[in-house]
């Protein structure tokens, strides 16, 4: 039975930190004017949807995730008019825009919190979570999100004469999502931005939004996932095929709950005897795939395919209408905390041998290119693998040219350096004096803007940028990957990962060699392969051997041998579209 196509299932998402992308008014900070001027570049890259990190008015103590006004644009980035013009111009080029929705918490400078601390009888007091005395034995599973930077989740406010709850920084008090008034405020915020043309929201800290905040009875949600389900229903009513794209980093056995699937209500299409739900998910449309990311990086560190096979067995299969967003790096730390401890250490040893490269005891604060020692073959192998796996790929700005990091910057800012557009002043990011820049441009060495920049790579047919442009367009031509069934294929070499994606559109097979040595992989294919991507050689080595077909009857297939070079890969189509 065929499935309904959704735009996001085969989209390539591209995350942008507005303040670090392009400076249009030369004040040293990126803005919407500068981003609008760069839309032709994004169109040429072949991406489908832009995800904007927070751009709202903010003290900017946490990269904009400490919001003071959900209905505006920070003065540094322009005006609401500039934002609308950006969305309009993006739409004209066929590019969608989703925005960060940061409603797990606010800034302590937000008017709601100011009113809450001033007046205990104000309705805003119940917008947050308060206690006269913090618990003596806090839940170890509800500790600070940033260990080493915060040592408590309760902070005392002298004006309110009470402690308030926060899982992030002390200047980011948590909102009480059990309060119906807060839920109504969230709907108003979403409605506002939907009216301005966005295609959805990246829901920040979705796992914490549905938690029993502070462990209090007054904040306990009778139906925790009802928060997300209400948001989804609102977006579907008010948005034109808009989506929820969420950060939900939870235990593997709970991840599927965030997609939703009628929560025990039997679909009209369900099998009456089995009770299997066949309906569409009713919560998050797209979820950031933190688990896959951790295991992919482990596979790259060990140069073996087994971690990929393992994680594909662990991951829940999304219901219809649900999708994973697969990535290798994002704007935060590369979080490997879900790996077993011994595997975490292997990753640290391979990719973050110095303590300065690590953060929070669970993450790596480096970009992928320097993690892989600038090895162009290995970088291409990693992203080819990412784009071929079930889900929708996500790129972080600068990935497409192999940008590096600046480990002299504090915390996660190491990977949030300005985009490198040219070999000119400040890498073409801004004409302001260097000391005025929001953050320094990476300069000198292997990853400096003098060597790694857009202008040089756009003119070079063999550059990483041109390779990504081809990869993005190929991915759009392979809907099997977005909503097909994934089957891992047998390969003798532990370094080889081979898999087949099958849907009504056809079949795509991808073969990747994670190892440094040349190797071969012999696969049984039931149709003649046609090359889509990669330069691995392949040839038929045996005709029509007996195999077990999908229907359980004896079928036949040919054996094909793929010759894979160091970090080699190949995508082939083995069945024409129907």
Band of pLDDT at residue 542, cut at 50, 70 and 90? confident
Band of pLDDT at residue 219, cut at 50, 70 and 90? confident
The verdict on 535 and 464 lying in the same domain is no
- In what helix (H) or strand (E) does residue 485 lie, and over which residues does it extend? strand 485-489
Number of domains making up the chain: 3
The verdict on 192 and 149 lying in the same domain is no
Angstrom distance (rounded) from CA 332 to CA 19: 15
Residue 431: pLDDT over 60: yes
- Can you read off the two tokens belonging to residue 469? 């442009």
Q: For residue 148, what pLDDT is reported?
A: 86
Q: Is 152 contained in some domain?
A: yes
Residue 413: pLDDT over 50: yes
Band of pLDDT at residue 280, cut at 50, 70 and 90? confident
The verdict on 125 and 265 lying in the same domain is no
User: Is residue 403 a contact partner of residue 396, using CB atoms and an 8 Å limit?
Assistant: no
Q: For residue 546, what pLDDT is reported?
A: 62
**Phi then psi dihedrals of residue 200, to 5 deg:** 145, -170
The verdict on 291 and 398 lying in the same domain is yes
Strands (E), 197-277: 200-203, 243-246
Say which residues have a Cβ less than 8 Å from residue 261's Cβ, sequence separation at least 6.
Answer: 277, 279, 280, 281, 282, 319
Q: List, by residue number, the catalytic residues.
A: 204, 247
pTM: 0.94
SS3 134: coil
CATH code assigned at 531: 2.60.40.1180
CA-nearest of 59, 167, 177, 65 to 114 is 59
- Regarding predicted confidence, which is higher, 507 or 557? 507
User: Is residue 51 a contact partner of residue 395, using CB atoms and an 8 Å limit?
Assistant: no
| Signed CA dihedral, 474, 480, 486, 492: sign only | negative
| Signed CA dihedral, 96, 102, 107, 112: sign only | positive
Residue 274: pLDDT over 50: no
State mean pLDDT over 509-537.
95
Interval 131-162: pLDDT, tens: 999 887 677 778 899 988 999 999 999 999 99
Residue 453: pLDDT over 80: yes
The verdict on 57 and 136 lying in the same domain is no
CATH code assigned at 351: 3.20.20.80
State mean pLDDT over 173-182.
97
Q: Is 435 contained in some domain?
A: yes
Please provide the average confidence, as pLDDT, over all residues in the chain. Answer: 92
Q: Is 311 contained in some domain?
A: yes
Interval 101-120: pLDDT, tens: 999 999 999 999 999 999 99
The verdict on 144 and 188 lying in the same domain is no
Residue 264: pLDDT over 90: no
Which DSSP string corresponds to 532-556? EE---EEEEEEEEEEEE-TTSSEEE
Q: Is 172 contained in some domain?
A: no
- Can you read off the two tokens belonging to residue 323? 């999708």
Residue that has been written with the tokens 């914490």 in this structure: 208
Domain stops at, among 474, 494, 528: 474
SS3 575: strand
Interval 364-381: pLDDT, tens: 999 999 999 999 999 999
Say which residues have a Cβ less than 8 Å from residue 206's Cβ, sequence separation at least 6.
Answer: 104, 228, 246, 247, 248, 258, 284
Band of pLDDT at residue 165, cut at 50, 70 and 90? very high
The verdict on 373 and 510 lying in the same domain is no
Band of pLDDT at residue 276, cut at 50, 70 and 90? very low
Q: Is 2 contained in some domain?
A: no
Beta bridge partners of 105: 174
The verdict on 253 and 384 lying in the same domain is yes
State mean pLDDT over 450-475.
97
Q: For residue 260, what pLDDT is reported?
A: 93
SS3 469: helix
Q: Is 174 contained in some domain?
A: no
The verdict on 368 and 397 lying in the same domain is yes
Band of pLDDT at residue 550, cut at 50, 70 and 90? very low
CATH code assigned at 128: 3.90.400.10
Out of 29-38, 126-135, 298-307, least confident range? 126-135
Domain boundaries, position 501: 485-575
Residue 577: pLDDT over 70: no
| Signed CA dihedral, 385, 15, 399, 469: sign only | positive
CA-nearest of 361, 354, 368, 434 to 405 is 368
The verdict on 257 and 380 lying in the same domain is yes
State mean pLDDT over 229-255.
93
Q: For residue 346, what pLDDT is reported?
A: 98
Measure Cα distances from 181 to 114, 123, 140, 207, 526 in Å. 17, 9, 30, 20, 58
- Can you read off the two tokens belonging to residue 359? 């953060």
Q: Is 479 contained in some domain?
A: no
The verdict on 419 and 560 lying in the same domain is no
The verdict on 249 and 274 lying in the same domain is yes
User: Is residue 105 a contact partner of residue 116, using CB atoms and an 8 Å limit?
Assistant: no
Q: Is 171 contained in some domain?
A: no
């Amino acid at each position: 039975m065929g499935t309904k196509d959704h735009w996001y299932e085969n989209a390539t998402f591209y995350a942008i930190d507005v303040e670090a992308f392009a400076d249009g008014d030369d004040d040293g900070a990126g803005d919407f004017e500068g981003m609008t001027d760069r839309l032709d570049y994004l169109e040429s890259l072949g991406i489908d949807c832009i995800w904007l990190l927070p751009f709202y008015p903010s003290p900017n103590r946490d990269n904009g995730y400490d919001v003071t006004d959900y209905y505006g644009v920070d003065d540094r980035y322009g005006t609401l008019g500039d934002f609308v013009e950006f969305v309009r111009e993006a739409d004209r080029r066929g590019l969608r825009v989703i925005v960060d929705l940061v409603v797990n918490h606010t800034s302590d400078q937000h008017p709601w919190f100011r009113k809450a601390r001033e007046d205990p009888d104000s309705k805003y007091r119940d917008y947050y979570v308060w206690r006269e005395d913090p618990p003596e034995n806090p839940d170890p599973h509800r500790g600070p999100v940033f260990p080493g930077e915060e040592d408590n989740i309760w902070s005392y406010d002298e004006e309110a004469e009470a402690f308030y709850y926060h899982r992030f920084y002390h200047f980011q008090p948590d909102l009480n999502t059990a309060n119906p008034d807060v839920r109504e405020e969230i709907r108003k915020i979403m409605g506002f931005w939907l009216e301005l043309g966005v295609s959805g929201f990246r829901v920040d800290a979705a796992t914490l939004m549905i938690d029993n905040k502070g462990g209090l009875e007054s904040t306990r949600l009778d139906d925790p996932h009802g928060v997300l389900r209400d948001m989804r229903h609102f977006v579907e009513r008010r948005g034109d095929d808009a989506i929820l794209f969420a950060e939900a980093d939870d235990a593997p056995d709970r991840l599927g709950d965030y997609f939703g699937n009628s929560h025990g209500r039997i679909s009209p299409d369900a099998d009456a005897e089995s009770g299997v739900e066949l309906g569409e998910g009713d919560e998050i449309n797209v979820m950031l795939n933190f688990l896959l990311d951790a295991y992919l990086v482990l596979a790259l560190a060990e140069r073996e395919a087994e971690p990929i096979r393992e994680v594909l067995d662990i991951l829940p299969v999304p219901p219809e209408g649900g999708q994973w967003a697969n990535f290798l790096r994002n704007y935060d730390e590369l979080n490997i905390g879900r790996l077993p401890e011994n595997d975490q250490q292997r990753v640290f040893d391979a990719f973050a041998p110095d303590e300065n490269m690590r953060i929070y005891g669970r993450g790596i604060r480096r970009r992928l290119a320097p993690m892989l020692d600038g090895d162009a073959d290995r970088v291409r192998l990693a992203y080819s693998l990412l784009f071929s796996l079930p889900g929708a790929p996500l790129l972080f700005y600068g990935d497409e040219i192999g940008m590096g990091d600046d480990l002299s910057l504090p915390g996660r800012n190491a990977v949030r350096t300005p985009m490198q557009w040219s070999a000119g002043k400040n890498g073409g990011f801004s004409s302001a004096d260097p000391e005025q820049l929001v953050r320094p441009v990476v300069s000198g060495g292997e990853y400096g803007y003098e060597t790694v920049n857009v202008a040089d790579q756009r003119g070079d047919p063999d550059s990483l940028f041109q390779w990504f442009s081809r990869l993005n367009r190929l991915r759009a031509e392979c809907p099997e990957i977005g909503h097909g069934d994934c089957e891992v294929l047998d390969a003798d070499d532990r370094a080889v990962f081979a898999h087949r994606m099958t849907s009504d559109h056809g079949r795509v097979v991808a073969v990747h060699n994670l190892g440094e040595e040349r190797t071969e992989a012999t696969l049984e294919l039931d149709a003649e392969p046609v090359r889509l991507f990669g330069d691995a050689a392949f040839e038929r080595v045996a005709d029509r051997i007996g195999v077990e077909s999908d229907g359980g009857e004896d079928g036949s297939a040919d054996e094909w041998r793929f010759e894979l070079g160091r970090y080699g890969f190949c995508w082939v189509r083995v069945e024409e579209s129907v």
